[in-house]
Structure 1
Amino acid sequence: MSTRRKFLSKAAAGTAAVGTGTILGAPAIHAQSKIKWRMQTYAGPALAEHVIKPAIDSFNKIAGDEMEIELYFADQLVPTGELFRALQKGTIDAVQSDDDSMASPTEVTVFGGYFPFASRYSLDVPVLFNQYGLGKIWEEEYEKVGVKWLSAGAWDPCHFATKDPIRSLEDLKGKRVFTFPTAGRFLNQFGVVPVTLPWEDIEVAVQTGELDGVAWSGITEDYTVGWSDVTNYFLTNNISGAWAGSFYANMDKYQELPPHLQELLKLTMDSSHYYRQWWYWGGEADLRVNGPDMELTTIPDEEWATVETAAIKFWDEIAAESETKAKVVEIFKQYNAVMEKAGRPYRYS
């Protein structure tokens, strides 16, 4: 709230300064002023230290006197669920999030975050966007609503971290879990009760019993943001191999950038994607083996196959909703068929 007040105060002060300058007849300043963007990420401070801050720090160093991106964390300027509207209006200039969490009014929103079993590994996401055509679809869908979709990348897989152990599908029933909208919609059929809360309130909500756990991340995030301190068990089965998130910009602000700064922004996003690839991949393995806070549990493969079968039915339900959704689902099916036929190391049946 303090940050929001400062944000609004700066905006008001800037408006007042412009008005005063006009009244006093101050001479026009012809020198090129430094471009300043405000970017908000879905991530809280501890997580942002890895998933976005190193890349933005690098951008600012290279851009020097030409441009600066001011980075804000989850809910600092606007609630995560209002990120799209703020971006569209130009209240903020850029966003790092998934389509699902920021409630984008597009045909592809349902596929952001964790779309059940759309990926097995983190490398699946950039391949789908860059080689199988998802990037083109996302770009076209966001152009329709006046926002510039910039780039997609992968994060961690989606696992349950809970206070009580989960060793069967029966154990999922009645569990109040913080998760993504589409993941919650899918998991509801197994008795999971999806709960939506501000990101920074999750740890306390688990402590007080308002939540039984989270299905928001992999084990790397559980340890990084402190959720491992309030949960006791980590379920090794996951409903997706990688979170799919993107960078977006206000269309007008992006088009005003000179070409070389647009290119620098692209390289910065690529740097961010690469950092997450190795940080999560290494962290997921290391913390399963060496993490001291959570005990690993597993639902047997033959029982978990029920969930995987339900995911394919869920895909078909989503595909029936629109032509664009059907196109995306068909790409998922084609891609996964290729991976299965390719065999090891792409897929282990």
Structure 2
Amino acid sequence: MTTRRKFLTTGALGGAAALAAPSVARAQAPIKWRMQTYAGAALGEHVVKPAVDAFNEIAQGQMEIELYYSDQLVPTAELFQAMQSGTIDCVQSDDDSMASPTEVTVFGGYFPLALRYSLDVPALFNKYGLKQIWDEEYAAVGVKHISAGSWDPCNFSTKKPINSLEDLKGLRIFTFPTAGRFLAQFGVVPVTLPWEDVEVALQTGELDGLAWSGITEVYTVGWANVTDYFLTNNISGAWIGHFFANMDRWNAVPPHLQKLLETCFEQSHYYRQHWYWAGEADLRINGGKLKLTTIPDAEWQTVQDAAVKFWDEIAAESETKAKVVEIIKKYNETMVQAGPPYRY
């Protein structure tokens, strides 16, 4: 039987032990992460904030993510370096924009004409082996690749109408590095600016337009107020973006919170699937600010043919790039053979 003396002794010792061990209290303090997204605040409300808010709520004080928007802590082009060094714990971006020093960087963002629909991205990563390649590439440079997902397609939104490839010549266009490299052959002049400066640059005439997003984003962030035309042809059916973390920071997180991070980020990928899919169709019809233009299919085929040549150029640069291009080709061949609704 437990006597009163033993109970009091045990209680006293327990209390003394607790007072003598402040490290226990420190261990229970919430894990704090700083995360920066490529997106500005208006866009971030949709593409990342819901996932961060959900994680912080479900984590119940065990861990908290502080969210920062485009360029708030570091310029977007320096995101990878900041995450690798531990200045930032977690990043949402494509590989291309954050200047990732990996063999797969060129495929992030918009890899020309490789994707037709948003579902192509999770299919390629989860069923065709791209996730394993990305995981290995980033682990080699001290970064955890958490997951990949799709965003919107890449269309032109411009101040002048585009009805033919000839109309592209000389246009100063804000776009992604790889997309700009591809589009230069059609006379486009790629321009790099901080994301937050784009609207003013369109107003002052420094930019003629952008090939950065679909129509949902053009309206959401205000670019529909400073452009006049939207080209329905796209150079990619979906943007490939990711969630990344500093590897040491990731490994320090308990397994159950790692799983919660993965789950919330997957939910974010799903949210964007339907948000963009619905928005792309609705705003073409009901947006009211941009006039739609289209380059005829026969002429646009020139761009599609050039994209396949571009893939081969990229594949020749390294074994890893060749492996990714081979997967993309195999996937697209399968979709074409399957026919509608996969490819028309």
**Could you tell me the TM-score, scaled by structure 2's length?**
0.93
1:204-240: CA deviations, max 9, x gaps? Answer: 0000000000100000000000000000000000000
1:8-34: CA deviations, max 9, x gaps? Answer: xxxxxxxxxxxxxxxxxx984421111
1:214 is paired with a residue of what secondary structure?
A: strand
Cross-structure match for 2:279? 283
Looking at structure 2, the residues matched to 293 and 301 of structure 1 have their Cα atoms a distance apart, in angstroms, of: 25
Q: Quick one: which of 167, 174, 181 aligns to 2:170?
A: 174
Q: CA RMSD in A?
A: 0.9
Cross-structure match for 1:330? 326
Looking at structure 2, the residues matched to 214 and 227 of structure 1 have their Cα atoms a distance apart, in angstroms, of: 9
Looking at structure 2, the residues matched to 278 and 168 of structure 1 have their Cα atoms a distance apart, in angstroms, of: 31
Cross-structure match for 1:95? 91
Looking at structure 1, the residues matched to 114 and 341 of structure 2 have their Cα atoms a distance apart, in angstroms, of: 17
Looking at structure 2, the residues matched to 27 and 214 of structure 1 have their Cα atoms a distance apart, in angstroms, of: 58
Looking at structure 2, the residues matched to 150 and 87 of structure 1 have their Cα atoms a distance apart, in angstroms, of: 13
Looking at structure 2, the residues matched to 196 and 54 of structure 1 have their Cα atoms a distance apart, in angstroms, of: 29
Letter in 1 for 2:302: T
Cross-structure match for 2:342? 346
1:107 aligns with 2:103: yes
1:142 is paired with a residue of what secondary structure?
A: helix
Looking at structure 2, the residues matched to 43 and 263 of structure 1 have their Cα atoms a distance apart, in angstroms, of: 24
Looking at structure 2, the residues matched to 321 and 63 of structure 1 have their Cα atoms a distance apart, in angstroms, of: 43
Q: Quick one: which of 183, 189, 193 aligns to 2:179?
A: 183
Cross-structure match for 1:122? 118
Cross-structure match for 1:61? 57
Looking at structure 2, the residues matched to 28 and 210 of structure 1 have their Cα atoms a distance apart, in angstroms, of: 58
Aligned ranges for residues 43-82 of structure 1 at < 5 Å? 43-82=39-78
Q: Quick one: which of 20, 37, 41 aligns to 1:41?
A: 37
Cross-structure match for 1:30? 24
Aligned ranges for residues 227-266 of structure 1 at < 5 Å? 227-266=223-262
Cross-structure match for 1:148? 144
Q: Which runs of 4+ in 1 moved over 3 A?
A: 26-29
1:91 is paired with a residue of what secondary structure?
A: coil
Looking at structure 2, the residues matched to 63 and 27 of structure 1 have their Cα atoms a distance apart, in angstroms, of: 25
1:248 is paired with a residue of what secondary structure?
A: strand
Looking at structure 2, the residues matched to 117 and 301 of structure 1 have their Cα atoms a distance apart, in angstroms, of: 14
Instruction: List runs of 5+ in structure 2 lacking aligned partners.
Output: 1-19
1:215 aligns with 2:211: yes
2:24 is paired with a residue of what secondary structure?
A: coil
Aligned pairs, number: 323
1:23-78: CA deviations, max 9, x gaps? Answer: xxx98442111100000000000000000000110000000110000000000000
Looking at structure 2, the residues matched to 65 and 164 of structure 1 have their Cα atoms a distance apart, in angstroms, of: 51
Instruction: List runs of 5+ in structure 1 lacking aligned partners.
Output: 1-25
